[in-house]
């Protein structure tokens, strides 16, 4: 049997590999808009994004890391409340953690080959959930109480119906026309957005909360970017397009770097949470691990996670850049500024709240939002639907891979 120290080191390296592929896979998130608007060449854009990802560690918040480390599954399945563990129990816990992370890595590679901008964050969540379910059953997945869930569904459902009905009445009575099904759904989602965000934080927890924010996060990015784009249109309506785009070419350098910083802050914390969980399970205390009984992120973990994501971004995946920057909608510098700033605000807010949203979802919908300010047909909704379905299958697909890797590791460890 492999010794314990070797397993700990390998498990931590596997997480750093995930962070690298997270940056590699999500490079398009940070540079798609600034490449599409031709403000920077791809090489310069990647270098700036990589620097921004690393600078993201200056935001002193570990809320997302704590959510990932102890807010998705019941850590009793890993023996956290029964430390120190026997060798067999330790190997079993490492098989669950490594299986989940490996599931996310495999899904990232597959979707990179397909050129799809799916979420590395949700792939990690799916992998961990899958490995845990196979190891101990669904009872160890954290979910809200039935009463809280019903209250959430009732309130947000009523808001959805109100939004859809209001648009239908306005279009049918005022304009004597029939609204499309897509517009009715979008109106309902936007109306239910605020109560969903507020009540999701209060009433929900664990996997259900994350799934809710899978829907909410893209809408937040879309709303912020759409609103900023309309504000720019209003403020600069008397300026020539050439002058406006010239000024926003400079401003987009700032907005792109800001988005890269918030992207690093958000995504690096996922790996930080998993590594800290490994250190807790292994009962490694200071200076390399957290104090006993605490979920404290060691400084070397923060630096390592941000460095890994930065390196991955630097060697980023150009297949996904093409989908994000060219196929969704055509962008100008002022639109790129609105998309990056709106997306960055959404990511900064969720990072402070400890909500592990998808940076991919946020920037993709922000790009759609600024494209929709011209007209809805400016967005290539066929590509958007393809991206949407990739989002839907990310958690179950990575969960399946996580199960498979866990089963293999369990046999390899002999537990």
Rounded Cα gap, residues 154 and 203, in angstroms:
12
Q: What is the mean pLDDT of residues 35-49?
A: 80
CA distances to 102, 237, 325 from 13, in Å: 11, 52, 32
* Portion of the chain with pLDDT greater than 70, in percent: 90
Tokens representing 80 are 């956290």
- The confidence score (pLDDT) of residue 328 equals 45
Asked whether 57 and 265 are in contact (CB, 8 A), the reply is yes
**Cis peptide bond N-terminal to 211, omega within 30:** no
- The confidence score (pLDDT) of residue 387 equals 61
- The confidence score (pLDDT) of residue 29 equals 65
Rounded Cα gap, residues 10 and 413, in angstroms:
13
- Residue whose tokens read 């639907």: 385
- Residue whose tokens read 């020539």: 240
Rounded Cα gap, residues 331 and 329, in angstroms:
6
Distance of CA 29 to the CA centre of its chain: 10
Render 99-122 in DSSP notation, one character per residue: HHHHHHHHHHHHHHHHT----HHH
Nearest to 347 by CA among 229, 222, 263: 263
Q: How many Cβ atoms from other residues are within 10 Å of residue 58's Cβ?
A: 10
Rounded Cα gap, residues 168 and 160, in angstroms:
12
pLDDT digits (tens, 9 = 90+) for 248-270: 888 898 998 999 999 898 889 99
**Rounded to two decimals, what is the model's pTM?**
0.88
- The confidence score (pLDDT) of residue 375 equals 59
Which range among 10-19, 194-203, 249-258, 353-362 has the greatest average pLDDT?
Answer: 10-19
89-93, 182-186, 267-271, 294-298: which range is least confident on average? Answer: 182-186
Rounded Cα gap, residues 332 and 246, in angstroms:
10
pLDDT digits (tens, 9 = 90+) for 339-397: 889 999 888 888 887 878 878 778 878 887 887 776 555 555 555 666 667 667 888 99
CA distances to 84, 100, 140, 282 from 79, in Å: 8, 17, 12, 10
Cα angle vertex 7, ends 2, 9, to 5°? 135
Asked whether 357 and 221 are in contact (CB, 8 A), the reply is no
Q: How much is the mean pLDDT over the chain?
A: 85
- Residue whose tokens read 């330790």: 90
Packing angle of the helix pair 181-203, 146-169 (nearest 10 deg):
150
Nearest to 29 by CA among 263, 333, 355, 368: 263
Q: Judge whether residue 9 has pLDDT over 90.
A: yes
Rounded Cα gap, residues 85 and 226, in angstroms:
52
* Portion of the chain with pLDDT greater than 90, in percent: 37
pLDDT band at 25 (very low <50, low <70, confident <90, very high): confident
pLDDT digits (tens, 9 = 90+) for 278-334: 999 999 989 899 988 788 899 999 999 999 999 988 887 555 555 544 554 567 888
């Amino acid at each position: 049997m492999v010794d314990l120290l070797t397993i700990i080191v390998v498990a931590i390296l596997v997480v750093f590999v995930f962070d690298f592929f997270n940056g590699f896979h999500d490079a398009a998130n940070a540079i798609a808009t600034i490449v599409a608007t031709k403000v920077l060449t791809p090489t310069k854009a990647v270098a700036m994004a990589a620097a921004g990802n690393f600078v993201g560690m200056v935001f002193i918040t570990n809320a997302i890391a704590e959510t990932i480390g102890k807010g998705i599954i019941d850590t009793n399945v890993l023996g956290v409340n029964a430390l120190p563990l026997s060798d067999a129990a330790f190997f079993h816990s490492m098989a669950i953690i490594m299986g989940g992370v490996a599931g996310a890595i495999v899904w990232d590679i597959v979707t990179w080959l397909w050129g799809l901008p799916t979420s590395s964050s949700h792939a990690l969540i799916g992998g961990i959930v899958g490995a845990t379910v196979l190891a101990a059953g669904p009872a160890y997945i954290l979910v809200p109480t039935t009463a809280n869930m019903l209250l959430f569904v009732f309130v947000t459902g009523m808001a959805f119906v109100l939004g859809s009905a209001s648009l239908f009445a306005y279009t049918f009575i005022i304009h004597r026309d029939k609204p499309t099904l897509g517009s009715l759904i979008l109106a309902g989602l936007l109306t239910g957005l605020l109560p969903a965000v507020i009540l999701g934080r209060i009433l929900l927890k664990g996997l259900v909360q994350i799934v809710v924010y899978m829907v909410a996060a893209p809408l937040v990015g879309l709303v912020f970017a759409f609103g900023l784009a309309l504000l720019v249109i209003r403020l600069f309506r008397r300026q020539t397009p050439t002058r406006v785009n010239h000024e926003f070419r400079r401003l987009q350098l700032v907005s792109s770097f800001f988005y890269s910083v918030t992207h690093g802050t958000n995504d690096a914390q996922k790996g930080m949470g998993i590594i800290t969980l490994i250190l807790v399970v292994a009962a490694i205390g200071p200076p390399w691990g957290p104090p006993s009984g605490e979920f404290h992120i060691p400084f070397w973990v923060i630096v390592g996670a941000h460095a890994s994501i930065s390196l991955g971004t630097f060697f980023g995946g150009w297949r996904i850049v093409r989908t994000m920057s060219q196929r969704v909608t055509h962008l100008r510098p002022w639109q790129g500024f609105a998309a990056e700033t709106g997306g960055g605000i959404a990511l900064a807010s969720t990072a402070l709240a400890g909500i592990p949203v998808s940076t991919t979802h946020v920037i993709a919908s922000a790009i759609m939002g600024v494209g929709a300010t011209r007209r809805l047909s400016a967005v290539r909704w066929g590509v958007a639907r393809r991206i949407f379905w990739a989002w839907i299958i990310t958690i179950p697909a990575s969960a399946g891979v996580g199960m498979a890797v866990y089963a293999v590791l369990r046999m390899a460890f002999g537990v």
